[in-house]
Amino acid sequence: MTDRIRQFLETRRPEGPCLVVDLDVVRQNYQAFANCLPETRVFYAVKANPAPQILSLLAEMGSCFDTASVAEIEMALAAGATPDRISYGNTIKKERDIARAWGMGVTMFAFDSIEELEKIARSAPGSRVYCRILFDCEGAEWPLSRKFGCAPEMAVDLMEQARRLGLKPYGISFHVGSQQRDVTTYDRALSIVGSIFRTLSERGIELSMVNMGGGFPTRYLRDIPAVQAYGDAIETALRRHFGNNLPETIIEPGRGMVGNAGVLQSEVILISRKSTTEGELRWVYLDIGKFGGLAETMDEAIRYPIRTPHDGDSTEPCILAGPTCDSADVLYEKTPYPLPVSLEIGDKVLFEATGAYTTTYSAVAFNGFAPLQSFYI
């Protein structure tokens, strides 16, 4: 929560649930990444929050952009980024979308399979390609599935095929898992990448780049390491596994860039109990839920800090739910959330650290409720 957001909410008094993002915080976050990883280029993961105001600010500050689709490439270009600052980072692309990206001047593509490589070779000939490897994400609050990446041995083979197909074998990418708080993970990952570089070098292919992905955390209820700790750990690991022959490096912060810049305001619609049985918890129903933007409460994965007008009063555990007629639209039930006993219907509650993965996750109109509105100040 920042003074600017507080003031905006007090003076503008927006109707309905909304997200307010303080662009000053985004600016500070970009600066922190740039300062703590001075040799690494920042590719902002557009999917975290593609608001034009955020993209323009970052483009102006010199950021590059990691994009998931042609629409995101267009947004990055519209924000002022040149095509050489854009990576098409999705390993799953329609061939006609590869062609469209290439037509717009994009020449850096992710892949993790021979099938994708063949599409890129046909529709974006001569491009730089980087291969995403599978990496187990121990220590991450949201370990990733095996959806992206291939086995490291396969990456070596694919890079040789890339050359054969007339592409530029450019680098290797990995992802340490979302909300990764263990900075030593980078050492494990870079050790694997270093060995891929060496194997390929023996076969006459000199890779240039390591894409260390995203996973940089936002502070929710638990403390997180400072960006400097990531910078130091990465620097040390790079030295250990690449010696003096350091590769170009890239990071793709999304949540780490915008998460803590946003505050989501919601209204308490109803507070009730299901029976008069002793120990029956209170249910607190809000005007936003899983389908209005808080999709990351799925499996109660992310537990947002919540502010109420009664903070400081004594609390009791509550079950927190959204406004739709959908039984799955419950935010916190397995682990109830402590909220003030004095909380009332009509009160505004604030979800902090909601700048990432909220506006775009929101459903078009589930139950007739409008998508999450947002303000960038």
Buried/exposed code over 42-72 (b: 16+ C-beta within 10 A; e: otherwise) = bbbbbbbbbbebbbbbbbeeebbbbbbbbeb
Q: Rule CB under 8 A: is residue 78 a binding residue for its own copies? A: no
Nearer CB in complex with its own copies: 22/296: 296
- Residue 163 CB: number of other CB atoms within 10 A? 15
Q: Which is nearer to its own copies, 70 or 79 (CB)?
A: 70
Considering only residues 94-123, where is the footprint of its own copies by CB under 8 A?
94-95, 112-116, 119
Q: Could you tell me if residue 6 is left (phi over 0), alpha (psi between -120 and 50 degrees) or otherwise beta? A: alpha
Residue 164 interacts with its own copies (CB under 8 A): yes or no: no
Chain residues 210-249 in contact with its own copies, contact rule CB under 8 A:
none
Whole-number minimum distance, CB 228 to its own copies, in Å? 27
Q: What angle do CA 167, 42, 302 make, to 5 degrees?
A: 110
Does residue 64 bind its own copies (CB under 8 A)? no
Closest distance to its own copies from the beta carbon of 257 (Å): 15
Phi, psi of 143, rounded to the nearest 5 degrees: -60, 145
The DSSP code sequence of 29-57 is HHHHHHHHSTTEEEEEEGGG---HHHHHH
We find the least distance from the C-beta atom of residue 331 to its own copies, in angstroms, to be 11
By beta-carbon proximity to its own copies, the closer residue of 226 and 270 is 270
Size of the site for its own copies (CB under 8 A): 77
Nearest to 213 by CA among 229, 196, 190: 190
Residues 6+ apart with CB under 8 A from 124: 98, 99, 101, 102, 106, 107, 109
Report the residue number, 39 or 138, with the smaller CB distance to its own copies: 138
Q: Which of 72, 141, 235, 347 binds its own copies (CB under 8 A)?
A: 72
Residue of 109, 142, 337, 351 interacting with its own copies (CB under 8 A): 142
Report in angstroms how near the CB of residue 147 gets to its own copies at its nearest.
5
Give the one residue of 52, 62, 71, 313 binding its own copies; rule: CB under 8 A.
Answer: 71
x-marked contacts with its own copies along 332-361 as a string, rule CB under 8 A:
-x-----------xx------------xxx
Known catalytic membership, residue 325: yes
Q: Which residue has the tokens 């898992």?
A: 177
Complex with its own copies: residue 13 or 147, whichever CB lies closer: 147
CB of 17 to its own copies, least distance (A): 11
Site for its own copies in 254-273 (CB under 8 A): 267, 269-273
Binding flags for its own copies, 184-203, as an x/- string (CB under 8 A)? --------------------
Segment interacting with its own copies, rule: CB under 8 A, options 24-32, 67-75, 193-201, 230-238:
67-75
The structure tokens 């041995």 sit at 153
* 363 scored as a contact of its own copies (CB under 8 A): yes
User: Minimum distance between the CB of residue 232 and its own copies, rounded to whole angstroms?
Assistant: 27
Q: Does 287 bind its own copies (CB under 8 A)?
A: yes
**Residue 333 CB-density burial (10 A; 0-12 exposed, 13-18 middle, 19+ buried):** middle
One of 130, 148, 220, 332 touching its own copies (CB under 8 A):
148
Residue partners of 345: CB distance under 8 A and separation at least 6: 268, 269, 270, 271
- 32 or 79: whose CB is closer to its own copies? 79
Q: What is the nearest approach in angstroms of its own copies to the Cβ of residue 281?
A: 10
Q: Are 173 and 91 in contact (CB under 8 A)?
A: no
Marked catalytic residue, from 36, 137, 318, 325: 325
Query: Rounded distance, CA 155 to CA 172, Å?
Result: 8
- Ranges within 19-58 binding its own copies (CB under 8 A): 45-47, 50
Select from 280, 275, 274, 266 the least CA-distant residue to 345: 266
Six-digit token string for 157: 């083979």
- For 221-231, b/e burial (b = at least 16 CB within 10 A) is eeebeebeebb
Place of tokens 């050492």: 187
Residues acting as catalytic residues: 325
